[in-house]
Amino acid sequence: MDPVHPMETLHGNGDHDGIDVMSWVSVCPEGLWKVQKKGICKESQQTVCNLGGIKSAGCCPRLGSLCRIRVQLHSNMVDTQSSVTDKRNEKLSDQADQSVSEFAETVETAFSRCRDSVLQVSLGDWTTLRLGEGQCDITEACLEGMRAKEKCEILLSPVGDIPDVFVPRPAEQNLPLCATIELQAFTPGKEPWEMSPGEKWEWVKSHKERGGMRFRSGNVWGAADSYSRALKLLITLSGHVREEEDTGQEQDEEEQRETNTGDETRCLLSASEFRTIKAELHSNLSLCQLKLNQPERAKASAAKATQLEPGGTKAWYRLGQACKMVNELEDAKRAFRKLLELQPDAPAALKELKDIASREKESNVQLGLRLSKMFS
């Protein structure tokens, strides 16, 4: 499951400038938000910072690109447009010169993002983020289609009921939120298909670790997004999995893997390691989906985890919970009984089975009463 809905492009919207408006749904710490994006400033010269100078390139930031950006919130779209008009005469060349000297010096600086903001960045200040980390979901999605020195205008509105949104807003008008995102410069990155297996594996581990950190901090939507990103990249590594044979050969391959780190075609994982990690990601995603009240998706994710790792107790428990939530009590009982086979006297499974038995008993009593009324 990917909590970020596919992006769709809206053409022919009547704008005199002919610029397309893109619309999609993205995740943030407070839930799902609908985003509408419109490019408002394009420069003929595209600038890419390559840590050793600047070169011309007609490309956009890609996975791993370090982006120098500024995000500014506005009270409404009219204010946004007037603000952009006023600032189009800014000395962008001076900013570009500054990006050459300073951007390269700050690329390794840790960036403390605003977790309590929908856009997840410090508003109004120039800052640097790495594309693809999933830390600034809405902002990153906007940057994927931008070039250096470009600005875009976005309109944000929550999807569903978000009771408390921590972001600076005009007192007279809470929603929707309007903002501009400006991309000053960026370092080269790579598309997933251009990455070596080792690079992909590092991203998988990074997303998996970040998912756990997000979940523990209460950012369930973000955790689900991180686990989904990890799964998408892990699937592309299925051709770089080695099958286990005898123990001696496996040990030799492990030693070769440790010493031959420069070989991009080497087998990164054994088949069992691959299944285990994939099962863990599906199981963790299932937990997020349960927390987000998505039982059908949670059931599908947990089922995949149990197929990959039949001995995974957490996945069986989450499968049972999901089946119970959709009132598939027989499937729920099978899942909890399987958990008891793996972990006898597991208190959680015993409690769930007792609760199901109580629910079935109550349902039978209600059915009996209805039948008695029909024939009385």
pLDDT in tens, 165-220: 444 444 434 567 889 999 999 999 998 889 999 999 999 999 999 999 989 988 88
Q: Are residues 210 and 66 in the same domain?
A: no
Domain around 79: 8-189
Q: Are residues 172 and 228 in the same domain?
A: no
Residue 153, Ramachandran bin (φ over 0: left; ψ between -120 and 50: alpha; else beta) = beta
- Going by the DSSP 8-state scheme, the letter that residue 338 receives in this structure is H
Q: Are residues 232 and 158 in the same domain?
A: no
Asked whether residue 257 is domain-assigned, the answer is no
Q: Are residues 40 and 151 in the same domain?
A: yes
Range of weakest confidence among 28-37, 60-69, 89-98: 89-98
Cα separation, 74 vs 92, in Å, equals 21
- Do the Cβ atoms of 269 and 241 come closer than 8 Å? yes
pLDDT in tens, 348-359: 999 999 999 999
Cα separation, 154 vs 138, in Å, equals 10
Q: What is the pLDDT of residue 217?
A: 87
Q: Are residues 212 and 168 in the same domain?
A: no
Q: Are residues 53 and 109 in the same domain?
A: yes
Of the three residues 167, 189, 211, the one that is the final residue of a domain is 189
Spatial CB neighbours of 257, under 8 Å, sequence gap ≥ 6: 266, 267, 268
Asked whether residue 143 is domain-assigned, the answer is yes
Domain count, the chain: 2
- Do the Cβ atoms of 214 and 222 come closer than 8 Å? yes
Q: Which of 154-158, 261-265, 310-314 has the highest mean pLDDT?
A: 310-314
Q: Residue 294 is part of a domain; what is its CATH number?
A: 1.25.40.10
Spatial CB neighbours of 282, under 8 Å, sequence gap ≥ 6: 231, 301, 302, 304, 305, 308, 315
pTM above 0.85, yes or no: no
Q: In this prediction, what percent of the chain has a pLDDT beyond 90?
A: 39
Cα separation, 348 vs 228, in Å, equals 27
Cα separation, 129 vs 113, in Å, equals 9
Neighbours of 17 (CB within 10 A): 8
Asked whether residue 34 is domain-assigned, the answer is yes
Neighbours of 337 (CB within 10 A): 13
Cα separation, 238 vs 302, in Å, equals 20
- Going by the DSSP 8-state scheme, the letter that residue 243 receives in this structure is P
Q: Are residues 202 and 276 in the same domain?
A: yes
